[in-house]
Structure 1
Amino acid sequence: MMGEPLSRAVAEQAASWHVDLLDEPADPSRRDAHQRWLAQSDEHRRAWARLEKLQGRLEQAPAGVARATLNQARTSRRRMIKGLAVLLVAGGAGLGWQRSDQYQALTARYRTGTGEQRSLYLADGGELVLNTDSSVDVDYGAGARRVILHHGEILVTTAPDPQGRPFTVDTRHGSVLALGTRFSVYSDDVRAQVGVMEKAVEIRPTDNGQPPLRLEVGQQADFSHRRVGQARPLNADALAWRNGLLVASDWRLEAFLTELSRYRPGRLVCDQQVADLRLSGAFNLTDTDVVLENLTQTLPVRLTYFTRYWVRVGAK
């Protein structure tokens, strides 16, 4: 039945198939694989029927909303799959998602797709660099300068303001007040992380019961809306992404693949049999297929491609 609940895993699979077929709709082998997936279970067919119904409702929405959802798949594939999965599990009732974090991220003024970077020059002479799969809005008003980071990672270089307005980066977990500085902020559904390259910042979690934390140059810290972690030394390779590199130092393979997936469209799955393998090195992010292939040369792993965008790393 259409009203029966869907598991999150099946919803994500349906969303992934939708984006795959949207990306290359004329590929016969992909369509055949999709038909085999549909035939595997009633839940698969129910998820696909719900997705088609949701797509029809989106096509009746205002043009700007539709463009900001399904037609953004090529530039923000991972976020698109996640957002669609949330809607499928919830049933898309009333399109209430328009007020959700997913909607805000998809309709933000400034966005980057998976593997993309973008530099912006701010009105006061500062600079904002967006890392992969990120979305922000900028709000300069009479009394404040705000960057709203909906999702992803940014590098901020602030400039003096003749009007003396404070500069903050706002996330769902809280805000970061710049104290004449250069700093990075990463934010996802679970937490935010701040690293300071020049001068200092002050972290202010959403929960007003938590005291703010001042970070000095060369420090970093994690925080959520409920808590702020302790300051610790900044990772020396924190900005390697600006040079198109992912630098690992004795990382677990599972952690490495999780980080690599930020720069690669689609699903990248690590089998638990190989999750604890360790690796180190500097990996070029311009071609993640080469990175994955190199893993098979240095570790006892093999790659299984279910589709072009769905890869499993398992034991040989």
Structure 2
Amino acid sequence: MNAAEETLIVTQARDWHVRQLGGLTPAEADALRDWLDASAAHAAAFEQVGALWSDLGWDEILNAKALDRAAARERRAVRGGGGIRSWLQAVLRPRGLLAAGGAGLLAAALALAVFFTLPGDPLVTGPGAGQTQVYQTAIGEIREVELADGSRVTLGGRTAIRVDFGRDARAVRLVAGGDALFEVARDESRPFTVQAGTLSATVLGTVFEVNRSSGTTAVGVVEGRVRVQGQGGGDAVLQAGDRIVAEAGAPWQREQMQPDQAARWMQTRLAYRDTPLSDIVADVNRYHAGGVRLGSADLGALRVTSSFRIDQLETALSGIALSHGLELVRTGDGGFVIRRPGTAE
């Protein structure tokens, strides 16, 4: 067997392994068995790829079954607690964050030097004090603020929101990419609207999550109902457990989620299913000071299914790179580069 044939078999083994992690259909499972039976070299390569993946020591590979198992564990952990505030406290507490008006600063654990303000104080106040305010977090910071109407917003790392409250409406805009969990105080005379990317979500009083990366915006409902509208004319009413994912230039995808799967970033866990690598890099860079870069722009289009904690970052990125035939390189400033083997930035 020559080098080209060996490379082809390893590539096929890697592809089959990644597909298996995401869950095989019966037809795909039959095709995998046929491929393994066709050659001892196939079986050996598949075994080697699986062994290397296992050696990476991941806590969780995100696929449909893994999500279900994780959700079941988390539901058991918070079962019997008193409603949404108990759930929020449960997901915040494991990381030592403060659930009631506190500033949970992960930067200390990550040895980051960042600036932050006292809980509830906006970093910027526009004209008309009490009407327009901007709240933002630093890299690695998770912070909860209470708004003037009694609503609460938990912001993920490097997230900024602009809050405009008037007599007839309450408006919030995610200024750039970021993560935010909203617990909206009910006020039937003033709808509460969040604008993020191409989506807007309107409620009277409920709990929902908004995530925005460079090319993707998502809205997931934890409790109550949310009306989601898009600039292109899309319109949907989401119930608890519904999630809308909008990628630039693509139709909306409507998904089901367990409400207690929301806001995993509050535990510094990031979870993705069939997500562009560029979005994952953007998210990681809100929680990791060193940052992650791509060796070439086209790598951002690669689709990734994964779940990891920020403290597992290097292991997780190694696995992602491996699954796509790439390599992970540590940089001198504590960051990482994902690139094709043998290339330089």
TM-score, with structure 2 as normaliser: 0.49
Question: How many angstroms does 1:226 deviate by?
Answer: 7.8
Cα distance per residue 1:39-59 (max 9 Å; x no partner): xxxxxxxxxxxxxxxxxxxxx
- Give the distance between the partners of 1:308 and 1:124, measured in 2 at CA: 43
AA in 1 matched with 2:147: L
Does the C-alpha gap of structure 1 residues 173 and 248 become closer, same or farther in structure 2, counting only changes over 3 Å? closer
The residue matched to 2:168 in structure 1 has which SS?
A: coil
- Name the residue aligned to 1:201: 226
Question: How many angstroms does 1:186 deviate by?
Answer: 1.8
- Name the residue aligned to 1:311: 336
Cα root mean square deviation, aligned: 4.0
AA in 2 matched with 1:240: R
The one of 230, 235, 238 equivalent to 1:212 is 235
Question: How many angstroms does 1:174 deviate by?
Answer: 3.8
- Give the distance between the partners of 2:195 and 2:179, measured in 1 at CA: 12
Question: How many angstroms does 1:277 deviate by?
Answer: 11
> Would the aligned equivalents of 1:179 and 1:199 in 2 still touch at CA under 8 Å?
no
- Give the distance between the partners of 2:218 and 2:208, measured in 1 at CA: 11
Give the structure, 1 or 2, with the largest relative contact order (CA under 8 Å, sep 6 or more).
Answer: 2
> Would the aligned equivalents of 2:214 and 2:278 in 1 still touch at CA under 8 Å?
no
The residue matched to 1:194 in structure 2 has which SS?
A: strand
Q: Is 1:244 paired with 2:268?
A: yes
Q: Is 1:159 paired with 2:185?
A: yes
- Give the distance between the partners of 1:132 and 1:139, measured in 2 at CA: 22
- Name the residue aligned to 1:168: 193
Size of the alignment, in residue pairs?
A: 206
Which stretches in structure 2 are left out of the alignment for 5+ residues? 1-112, 116-131
Does the C-alpha gap of structure 1 residues 141 and 250 become closer, same or farther in structure 2, counting only changes over 3 Å? closer
Does the C-alpha gap of structure 1 residues 228 and 118 become closer, same or farther in structure 2, counting only changes over 3 Å? farther
AA in 2 matched with 1:155: L
The residue matched to 1:137 in structure 2 has which SS?
A: strand
Listed as ranges, the matches of 1:54-133 within 5 Å are: 109-133=134-158
Identity rate, percent: 26
Does the C-alpha gap of structure 1 residues 233 and 309 become closer, same or farther in structure 2, counting only changes over 3 Å? same
- Give the distance between the partners of 2:316 and 2:245, measured in 1 at CA: 32
Does the C-alpha gap of structure 1 residues 308 and 203 become closer, same or farther in structure 2, counting only changes over 3 Å? same
The residue matched to 1:291 in structure 2 has which SS?
A: helix
Q: Is 1:268 paired with 2:300?
A: no
Which stretches in structure 1 are left out of the alignment for 5+ residues? 1-73, 77-106
Does the C-alpha gap of structure 1 residues 127 and 235 become closer, same or farther in structure 2, counting only changes over 3 Å? same
The residue matched to 2:313 in structure 1 has which SS?
A: helix
Does the C-alpha gap of structure 1 residues 143 and 257 become closer, same or farther in structure 2, counting only changes over 3 Å? closer
- Give the distance between the partners of 2:205 and 2:252, measured in 1 at CA: 22
TM-score, with structure 1 as normaliser: 0.52
